[in-house]
Amino acid sequence: MLTLIASCLGIVLTGQIAEAQSAVKVSFNQSIRRILYENCVSCHGPDAAHRKAELRLDERESAIASGAIVPGNPGDSSLLERVTSHDDKLVMPPKDTGKSLTPVQVDLLRRWIAEGAEYQKHWAYLRPDCLEPPDTVSGKPESPGHQRSDHPIDRFVRHRLSAAGLTPSPMAAPETLIRRLHLDLIGLPPTPEEIDEFLNNFGRDPRVAIEAKVDELLASPHYGERWGRWWLDQARYADSHGYSIDAPRQIWPWRDWVISALNTDMSFDEFTLEQLAGDLLPDASESQKVATGFHRNTQINQEGGIDPEQFRIDSVFDRVATTSSVWLGLTIGCAQCHDHKFDPITQKEYYQLFAFLNDQDEPSMKVFGSAEDGQRLNEQVRQLEQAAANYIRERQSVLGDWEAGLNDKDRESLPKEVITALKEGAKKRSDAQWRSLFGAGPGKTDLDFQKIVEDLKSIRNQIDSAPTTLVFQERASPRKSTILIKGDFTRPDAEVFPGTPALLHPLESSGGRANRIDLARWLTSRENPLTARVIVNRIWQQYFGRGIVETESDFGSQGTLPSHPELLDWLAIEFMDQGWSMKRLHRLIVTSATYQQSSTERTDLRAKDPHNYLLGRQQRLRLEAELIRDAALVASGLLSKKMGGPPVYPPIPDGVMGTGQVKHAWNVSQGEDRYRRGCYTFAFRASPPPVLNVFDAPDGYSTCTRRLRSNTPLQALTLLNDQTSIEFAGALKLLIENKGLEYAFRRCTSRVPQQDELSVLETLSSADAARVLLNLDETISRE
Amino acid sequence: MRNNHQLRDATRRHFFSDCGVGLGSIALTSLMNNGRLASAQTADSSEQVISNPLIPKDSHFPAKAKAVIFLFMAGGPSQLELFDYKPKLAELSGQPIPESYIAGKRFAFMNSSHRINLLGPKRTFRQHGESGAWVSDLLPQTASMVDDLCIVKTCKTDLFNHAPAKLFMNTGSGLFGRPSMGSWITYGLGSECDNLPGFVVLQSGPRGPRGGAVLWGSGILPTTYQGVPLRSTGDPILNLSSPVDVTADQQRGVVDAVRELNLKRLVATGDQEIATRISAYEMAYRMQSSAPDLMETSSESKETLSLYGIQDPGESSFARNCLLARRLVERGVRFIQLYHTNWDHHGGPTENLETHLPSICQEIDRPCMALIRDLQQRGLLENTIVIWGGEFGRTPMGEVRESTGRNHHIDAFTMWMAGGGFRPGTVFGETDEFGFGPVDNPIHVHDLHATILHQLGIDHERLSVRFQGLDFRLTGVEPVHVVNEILL
């Protein structure tokens, strides 16, 4: 990650150097902002409490008023004098920070001041520009070997590439392409049969074949599982309460809600609204209430001796941080304790956001499938109870006779609850007591009565066995929210009310105290410069391994600049214009030649753009943790395609559950539940499933907007020796024996092996060859 | 360990026999020297270097120490029964602590069992060694070696519940998801061992530490740097053993074939990640024999075993873990952490000051000192920092449940360090008459972290990672200082 950031800086610096050397006017956003923000603004910026010398350099007026900058006159600007000073006491940044400006940076500052010292608002806080994609066709000629494309994405990408003297890569081989599409869109590799069919179609008309494939995959229910996991990461989903006790919790109905919402292509603004405020919607349906589980994915501390309020407040902090990172791509956690040091967000504004998310109770709710079902079942119970009561009332005398006829011995032999009911005076008996009494007496042989009782029991069972899920429920009267000094919940300061940062567009409230509906609408407002860009960027990141903005959760002034700003804006506007449809966005991206090109390294690209910022090729990516499991399940033919429901327990090594304070049970699932997709594996936060954890599955402690991709010996040990790996290899061995090595190779890598590759495998037993195939880097990669 | 020797032989036959050659510097060409891939070699591929993320890296400035052993006393030992002698507390035992001490303070169990009456020390204390350090009768071995220790009585932390406080001691933050000290250090310095993980965790006691795997998690750093628990039963490392019906030769054959096919793919795609994966498989394979080797404590001399008080070298115990810690340091492992539970002496039925504290002290006293002596004898102590302490200390006020105990306390508690350039024979920091708070020289957890990093040649302000727009570091954002007074 460090190298990535460093190299991105490299690109920015290259930009600076270009400007430094050319006659082009120095741009604040391109060159100056980073110099000021990395070196000056933490002490001379928005944070009033920690500001030194009453000097602000993030605002033009203040910088001029203080004499730090005299537009047009670098010589009189104290800023320049201080950054070039040779006096250790005067030089800025101060010696002990270890920072200093390079001669190139000083020169840029000097020229920028000379040219008038114009500031620009940070790009991400301005609404996206509506630009036409550049016309590459009429520009530089297309290089041979790759297809012409009028696709808007390609026009943006190729424009930049050709400006750098580079060409895109040719289209990937059709086997690579179908594997890529399958893994990216549904998270499952294609089978040899699917590949053959695609190759056939591709031979007739590549474009038609690809588009048909894309449509097929987007319509597959497995699309929701693959992209649902993407959202689960951001929502910090797991199946336990976290902290040290880490007891299991039930919130998988929310997980299933996400999968289904994605499969029905719920628009992203509706998706936002239901998750943040479903409970507040008029006549909220059961499903809309389930959706509010998004913000119930916070931890709950059950340790002894704690103050529950402290941890409730911590969970609200987490909700603020998550909302901000996920939708706005802003890190505002620092404003919990003090005004933001870099972005103009005050501590008060932080607590105004906090106030939106501080007014809920946090119950769990029975889930019946739909609100109507729950109501219907409860209504049926009421009717049956009434029917039983009527039935008994009509037979009071029979019951009385039976009761009177009981001797002491008879009474003793009756069930306990009947004896209790008998002891209770007739006037005090509850309906349930009447039923057990009647059932033990005259009702015992009365088939009509037995039927009523049986029906009642079965509906009660249905209600009892319904799963629960964690939800938000607005309190009747809101809590008083205040600023908390240094984020300490024992130190309340001034009262605050729900509101949004002044930096962004104004909040529209339906009147009175703003609520979560207003917050959700504000997030997905057309006026909001951030949300669409942030979401588009985070989807892009899945396809290319990196966002157009590399710092995917920081679009603020400390984040990296977009590699393709116009493309990002165009995609954001297109996303909104297409009704916030995520499926349309996916389709748009994967039908571009940029997406479809080969990922193979090229000498010229390695020299000029070693980290592939300009997208002269696709990116070869190791699969995500769950997909490594899924791919092996498909390869070995073991996969269960069953969707949804409670999480499952595939085998894990002995002793894993004993590392925490409490040893939780892990009763290995039997039957097809043993072979479910990785996204259904039960996830304890404190003792995460090792096979997923070792491949960087997030732990659910806080929002994860981008997974790391590590590459470690423990991963090798897992793929070589873990019980699940052995089981998968056992199944693949049988495939090798029945259908041959080449077939098995295709099941793992989606391509036909070269002869020299086959020869390596042919020297091994089928059992060993199966293990080798499942351990190949290619098997756990998408190229 | 099954097939251990076969595995080792297979390694020798087929693989890098010289462990001194770090994999980090082995160019792909040398892997190709076996001739099998000569035909596939291109100008491009000959430049490729197999990368190992744990390759040793230069420190910011010359280091005093190379390795760290953190003896983590999970639950919070009572400094008032061990190191911080308070006669006044004995005198006023049973009386309420003056209001001025506790006004505005918060404690664990505030609403139920928290008490305000002082509790006198339950043990007798004596001064020891040339330093005159006070140590109670619970730690006779420790007492005999105070001149080798640097005792700090004024450690301070921020959080008073177990899991958050353990996280704080390990990661400098009470929030989940931050890298632990061991991860930061292996990230910053790499490891000098190329056949074991750079950061190893050992556990003993009746249960795992509260908080579990996050205590040695790598948080925002790659998982390469997370602590790897060495388990006392079964495979020492998860999935270390080859499958039951696989022979050593077969395993080697599989790993060789994987490497060969991966190399072909590396050449075809040019993706350096494949090079890293090849290197990871080789290290994994070496771990399959080096980790069982490490655990073979029966090869130690009788003298050594009795120094640690180990009767059965095969039996898991804190003492055996101390011995393993020395063996890990010898092998160049960077950061070793031992957790021993349970020090949470509230006065409950299984955790009181009268019987349970003495027995846990007995479990750790000899092994801790044996570790120091053993490291000393082998010339390793100079370069190894040994740290002893828990996530917090315990209150001067007593807690009476079924028997007597003390509540969690964060204002002042005792830790000691030895070796690695910490000044031996030192008692640093003084607490008030009840041992409630420091009267001088408070050392916050972040200061301690900064000091440990300093000894390893790391500037704590420069060891940082940009994540989600913020620069994260072990020592947080508030001012922190290296405590030079406790260093040589």
Question: Per the structure block, which two tokens stand in for A658?
Answer: 């004993």
Q: Is residue B204 within 8 Å of B195, Cβ to Cβ?
A: no
Does position B46 have pLDDT exceeding 80, yes or no? Answer: no
Cβ contact B261–A696 (<8 Å): no
User: pLDDT tier at B218 (50, 70, 90 boundaries)?
Assistant: confident
Cβ contact A754–B264 (<8 Å): yes
Does position B373 have pLDDT exceeding 80, yes or no? Answer: yes
Inform me whether the C-beta atom of residue A768 falls under 8 Å from chain B C-beta atoms. yes
Determine the angle formed by the axes of helices A755-762 and A741-749, rounding to 10 degrees: 110
Q: What is the pLDDT of residue A139?
A: 42
Residue A781 β-bridge partners: A622
DSSP B271-297: -HHHHHHHHHHHHHHHHHHHHHHHH-G
Dihedral sign from CA coordinates of B7, B11, B13, B18: negative
Nearest to B57 by CA among B230, B289, B225, B279: B225
- pLDDT (mean) for B371-399: 96
Tell me how far apart the alpha carbons of residues A325 and A531 are, in angstroms, rounded to a whole number: 10
User: pLDDT tier at B110 (50, 70, 90 boundaries)?
Assistant: low
Question: Per the structure block, which two tokens stand in for A341?
Answer: 């040091």
Nearest to B142 by CA among B360, B293, B365, B326: B365
Question: What count of Cα atoms within 13 Å lies in the side-chain half-sphere of residue A111?
Answer: 20
Chain A CB contacts of B287 under 8 Å are 713, 717
Tell me how far apart the alpha carbons of residues B97 and B406 are, in angstroms, rounded to a whole number: 14
Class at the top of the CATH hierarchy for domain B67-233+316-486:
alpha beta
Q: Is residue A272 within 8 Å of A586, Cβ to Cβ?
A: no
Backbone angles phi, psi at A475, to 5 degrees: -75, 150
Cβ contact B213–A660 (<8 Å): yes
On the 0-12 / 13-18 / 19+ scale of CB atoms within 10 A, A427 is: exposed
List all residues 6 or more positions away from A639 whose beta carbon is below 8 Å from its beta carbon: A188, A630, A633, A675, A677
A residues 635-664 lying closer than 8 A (beta carbon) to B: 653-656, 658-661, 663
**Residue ranges, CATH 3.40.720, chain B:** 67-233+316-486
Stretches in chain A below the pLDDT threshold 70: 1-23, 136-147, 371-372, 658-661
Dihedral sign from CA coordinates of B417, B421, B425, B427: negative
Dihedral sign from CA coordinates of A88, A94, A96, A97: negative
Q: Is residue B385 within 8 Å of B419, Cβ to Cβ?
A: yes
Cβ contact B264–A757 (<8 Å): yes
Question: Per the structure block, which two tokens stand in for B435?
Answer: 């041992």
Q: Is residue B86 within 8 Å of B414, Cβ to Cβ?
A: no
Tell me how far apart the alpha carbons of residues A500 and A516 are, in angstroms, rounded to a whole number: 11
Residue B469 has its nearest CB partner, among A554, A659, A763, at A554
Peptide linkage before A775 cis (omega within 30 of 0): no
Can you state the percent helix, strand and coil of chain B, rounding each to 5?
35, 20, 45
CB burial of B83-99 (b: ≥16 within 10 Å; e: otherwise) equals: bbbbeebeebeeeebee
| Gap from A241 CA to chain B (nearest CA, Å) | 12
Q: Is residue B96 within 8 Å of B66, Cβ to Cβ?
A: no
DSSP A391-420: HHHHTHHHHHHHHHT--HHHHHHS-HHHHH
Does position B12 have pLDDT exceeding 80, yes or no? Answer: no
Tell me how far apart the alpha carbons of residues A737 and A97 are, in angstroms, rounded to a whole number: 66
Inform me whether the C-beta atom of residue A304 falls under 8 Å from chain B C-beta atoms. yes
Chain A CB contacts of B207 under 8 Å are 661, 663
Cβ contact B177–A702 (<8 Å): yes
Cβ contact A301–B161 (<8 Å): yes
A residues 235-254 lying closer than 8 A (beta carbon) to B: 242-244, 246
Q: Is residue B114 within 8 Å of B108, Cβ to Cβ?
A: yes
Residue B210 has its nearest CB partner, among A244, A307, A330, at A244
Tell me how far apart the alpha carbons of residues A195 and A204 are, in angstroms, rounded to a whole number: 14
Tell me how far apart the alpha carbons of residues A617 and A397 are, in angstroms, rounded to a whole number: 89
Stronger pLDDT, A17 or B110, i.e. the higher one: B110
Q: Is residue A500 within 8 Å of A522, Cβ to Cβ?
A: yes
Dihedral sign from CA coordinates of A384, A385, A388, A393: negative
DSSP B200-263: EEEEESSSPPTTGGGGG--TTS-GGGS-EEEPSSS-SSTT-SPPTT--HHHHHHHHHHHHHHHH
Does position B30 have pLDDT exceeding 60, yes or no? Answer: no
Q: What is the pLDDT of residue A406?
A: 84
Chain A CB contacts of B106 under 8 Å are 307, 490
List all residues 6 or more positions away from A587 whose beta carbon is below 8 Å from its beta carbon: A214, A215, A218
| Gap from B482 CA to chain A (nearest CA, Å) | 15
Q: What is the pLDDT of residue A372?
A: 63
Q: Is residue B196 within 8 Å of B287, Cβ to Cβ?
A: yes
A residues 485-514 lying closer than 8 A (beta carbon) to B: 490
What does the pLDDT look like over B233-274, one tens digit per residue? 778 889 999 999 999 999 999 999 999 999 999 999 988 889
pTM: 0.81
Residue B254 has its nearest CB partner, among A686, A768, A778, at A768
Dihedral sign from CA coordinates of A300, A302, A307, A308: positive
Chain A CB contacts of B176 under 8 Å are 242, 299, 685, 699, 701-702
| Gap from A767 CA to chain B (nearest CA, Å) | 10
Tell me how far apart the alpha carbons of residues B325 and B184 are, in angstroms, rounded to a whole number: 19
What does the pLDDT look like over B423-444, one tens digit per residue? 999 999 999 999 999 999 999 9
Q: Is residue B487 within 8 Å of B65, Cβ to Cβ?
A: no
| Cα→Cα distances A76→A64, A104, B364, Å | 11, 20, 68
Q: Is residue B370 within 8 Å of B405, Cβ to Cβ?
A: no
Determine the angle formed by the axes of helices A222-234 and A531-544, rounding to 10 degrees: 120
Taking one residue from A and the other from B, the number of pairs with CB-CB distance under 8 angstroms is 230
User: pLDDT tier at B19 (50, 70, 90 boundaries)?
Assistant: very low
| Gap from A267 CA to chain B (nearest CA, Å) | 27
| Gap from A302 CA to chain B (nearest CA, Å) | 11
User: pLDDT tier at B457 (50, 70, 90 boundaries)?
Assistant: very high
Inform me whether the C-beta atom of residue A93 falls under 8 Å from chain B C-beta atoms. no
Query: Cα B250 to chain center, whole Å?
Result: 36
List all residues 6 or more positions away from A204 whose beta carbon is below 8 Å from its beta carbon: none
Q: What is the pLDDT of residue A245?
A: 86
Least confident of A326-330, B276-280, B390-394: B276-280
Cβ contact B211–A660 (<8 Å): yes
